Chain A
């Protein structure tokens, strides 16, 4: 009996030990450090363990609040656009094509193999004053002078983020739609449901978990986006990721940066709860 118990503990340690260490070292430890830092302060370029709420109070200033608010707005906009663009793609991929399924899947996944940075730079080439879009517009005689708001704007940031993250919306939704029992659709058709109403009353509600997961997968990285807004955003379209990076870089204000990071985390947790709750169809286990 005792020997068996020991063996079980040994087995559990062998299985759970490495992942626990991994999560502990790479997730919990940095998080705990940041949580601590966010309550300390910087004195003469030294971080001092002097307990304070000042960092969070600084976050409440209009400057930072405004940036937080814009970041949330852009992340939500990116999420909504990804959903609107990604749903038809995932639907077509899962339910409408057998022949091109593999090719289309590869086309969705392929961009993920190229660097995020490369894709961001590509948008600079496309949207710039001498970029492809402006040249085409001028070539067609639609405008004499280059359209300036294409690049270095919220528009550019939103467009690039949609492009970069839309696969993260498509894939989880595709997985859900692919698994949808075709008998349910046959049953709906048998009971007189046309295409559109079958979609509305059966497919759509049953795919909501995939939509919720996809939204989260887009919203989370969009909230933390840093490189894309840095490169494509204008002077006034700064996002919170850049501000965090500044605190850990030039500003050398780790405590403020930590407070910002934890606030972003809190926003994401709230959003995750809301998304997942909204995405749970009735009648399914929580």
Chain B
């Protein structure tokens, strides 16, 4: 995160209340230009509200928002952000081409230039063949692309995306993840992306902002957030975690079993209570002293349910979580 550069987006002490309820409870955040930043958290933690504040759709009750150094408020018409809505919000009475041209028409760009830029954007997103169709004639993935094209053609500094892949099936979602990432690298602008899917966040982001009840729990690279979670909440939300005594935790893929446990890494014995073969890996639930430890092992294993088993982990693989109040 370039230190001296002016951040593309800056939030300072942002609060948003709905009635007495604080949907956003004091957020500070700097987003450096050109980054793919993801707001990650469970449903209702304030991700959409935060994004809408950045986009100027909601007025915060306290705090300040700057985009490209300029304060944002809902009356600003000339904005540096564009939003890709969760439901796409494509204009149903306009063709794909008209939808994509809309922002340029509103910006009073000369006609000839509009045509050229729209065609280039349609080609870039593989929509040239769909240009004369109406949104309802398109698949979910195509509508998604039109929404992206409509926003990107206006060349914003920052693109805001609210769970844009939520409505797609798993396969399409995976594919679009790849395309989104490539697109972001291609256009080189800042993406602020909202999702509750931690895998998606890991896959796409340069920086993940983990949110909890209107606050930021941790900001870091996917690796930071996964390997060095700031607290138990982050460890639990990002990836699966076995919480151990004290403030120790261990990821299932770091649990070792049987005779591969190096000396010094052995931790105890238990019994296999459940086993599921997941293709690339096998998941074991090991019962030990009244608690359950989850282990994921690569490939297939020859252990059966009910078998006694030894387990362990390396010291360096254990997560040391600060206790809640020491944060």
Q: Which residues of A contact B (CB under 8 A)?
A: 181, 183-184, 186-194, 197, 201-202, 205-206, 281-285
Give residues of chain B (259-311) contacting chain A, Cβ–Cβ below 8 Å.
none
**Interface residues on chain B, size class:** 20 to 34
A183 shortest CB reach to chain B, Å? 4
Give complex CA distance A12, B119 in Å: 54
Give complex CA distance A285, B136 in Å: 9
Asked if B213 is at the interface (CB within 8 A of a chain A CB), the reply is no
Give complex CA distance A187, B92 in Å: 12
User: Which of B79, B83, B92, B151 is in CB contact (< 8 Å) with A283?
Assistant: B92
Task: Using A184-B91, A197-B106 as known contacts, list a sample of 9 further A-B pairs with CB atoms less than 8 Å apart, ordered by residue number in A.
Answer: A183-B89, A187-B89, A189-B77, A190-B81, A190-B83, A194-B106, A202-B91, A281-B93, A282-B93
A185 shortest CB reach to chain B, Å? 9
| Cβ contact within 8 Å between B93 and A205 | yes
| Cβ contact within 8 Å between B106 and A192 | yes
Q: Select from chain A the residue with minimum beta-carbon distance to B108.
A: A192
Give complex CA distance A193, B82 in Å: 12
Asked if B324 is at the interface (CB within 8 A of a chain A CB), the reply is no
| Cβ contact within 8 Å between B79 and A206 | no
| Cβ contact within 8 Å between B103 and A192 | yes
**A-B residue pairs in contact (CB < 8 Å), sample of 26:** A181-B87, A183-B87, A184-B92, A186-B83, A186-B85, A187-B89, A187-B90, A187-B91, A188-B102, A188-B106, A190-B79, A191-B82, A191-B102, A191-B106, A191-B151, A193-B106, A194-B77, A194-B106, A201-B105, A206-B92, A206-B93, A283-B92, A283-B94, A283-B135, A284-B134, A284-B136
Residues of chain B with a CB closer than 8 A to A193's CB: 102, 106
User: Which of A186, A201, A281, A282 is in CB contact (< 8 Å) with B102?
Assistant: A201
Give complex CA distance A194, B79 in Å: 12
Give complex CA distance A192, B81 in Å: 11
With A194-B77, A282-B93: A187-B83 Cβ-Cβ less than 8 Å: yes
With A191-B150, A202-B91: A282-B134 Cβ-Cβ less than 8 Å: yes
User: Which of B55, B83, B107, B134 is in CB contact (< 8 Å) with A192?
Assistant: B107
Scoring B residues 45 to 68 as 1 if CB is less than 8 Å from chain A, else 0, what string do you get?
Answer: 000000000010100000000000
Asked if B95 is at the interface (CB within 8 A of a chain A CB), the reply is yes
A282 shortest CB reach to chain B, Å? 5
Residues of chain A with a CB closer than 8 A to B55's CB: 190
A201 shortest CB reach to chain B, Å? 7
Residues of chain B with a CB closer than 8 A to A191's CB: 82, 102-103, 106, 150-151, 154
Asked if B78 is at the interface (CB within 8 A of a chain A CB), the reply is yes
Please classify the interface of chain B as helix (H, G, I), strand (E, B), loop, or mixed, using the class held by over half of its residues.
Answer: loop
A204 shortest CB reach to chain B, Å? 10
Give complex CA distance A202, B95 in Å: 13
A261 shortest CB reach to chain B, Å? 38
Residues of chain A with a CB closer than 8 A to B83's CB: 186-187, 190
Give complex CA distance A91, B92 in Å: 20
Give complex CA distance A181, B86 in Å: 13
Residues of chain A with a CB closer than 8 A to B105's CB: 201
Give complex CA distance A205, B98 in Å: 14
| Cβ contact within 8 Å between B89 and A184 | yes
Residues of chain B with a CB closer than 8 A to A283's CB: 92-95, 134-136
| Cβ contact within 8 Å between B93 and A186 | no
User: Which of A187, A189, A206, A285 is in CB contact (< 8 Å) with B85?
Assistant: A187
| Cβ contact within 8 Å between B77 and A186 | no
Give complex CA distance A94, B102 in Å: 25
Q: Select from chain A the residue with minimum beta-carbon distance to B135.
A: A283
Scoring B residues 90 to 123 as 1 if CB is less than 8 Å from chain A, else 0, what string do you get?
Answer: 1111110000001101110000000000000000
Give complex CA distance A191, B77 in Å: 9
Give complex CA distance A281, B93 in Å: 6
Residues of chain B with a CB closer than 8 A to A188's CB: 91, 102, 106
| Chain B CB within 10 A, most for which of A184, A189, A192 | A192
B130 shortest CB reach to chain A, Å? 13
Give residues of chain B (179-211) contacting chain A, Cβ–Cβ below 8 Å.
none
Q: Select from chain A the residue with minimum beta-carbon distance to B93.
A: A281
Q: Select from chain B the residue with minimum beta-carbon distance to A186.
A: B57
B127 shortest CB reach to chain A, Å? 16
Residues of chain A with a CB closer than 8 A to B79's CB: 190, 192
A272 shortest CB reach to chain B, Å? 22
Q: Select from chain A the residue with minimum beta-carbon distance to B83.
A: A190
Give complex CA distance A187, B102 in Å: 10
A210 shortest CB reach to chain B, Å? 13
| Chain B CB within 10 A, most for which of A184, A189, A190 | A190
| Cβ contact within 8 Å between A284 and B106 | no
Give complex CA distance A164, B127 in Å: 51
| Cβ contact within 8 Å between B103 and A282 | no
Residues of chain B with a CB closer than 8 A to A205's CB: 93
With A190-B79, A191-B82: A284-B102 Cβ-Cβ less than 8 Å: no
Q: Select from chain B the residue with minimum beta-carbon distance to A281.
A: B93
Q: Select from chain B the residue with minimum beta-carbon distance to A195.
A: B77
Give complex CA distance A186, B86 in Å: 12
A67 shortest CB reach to chain B, Å? 40
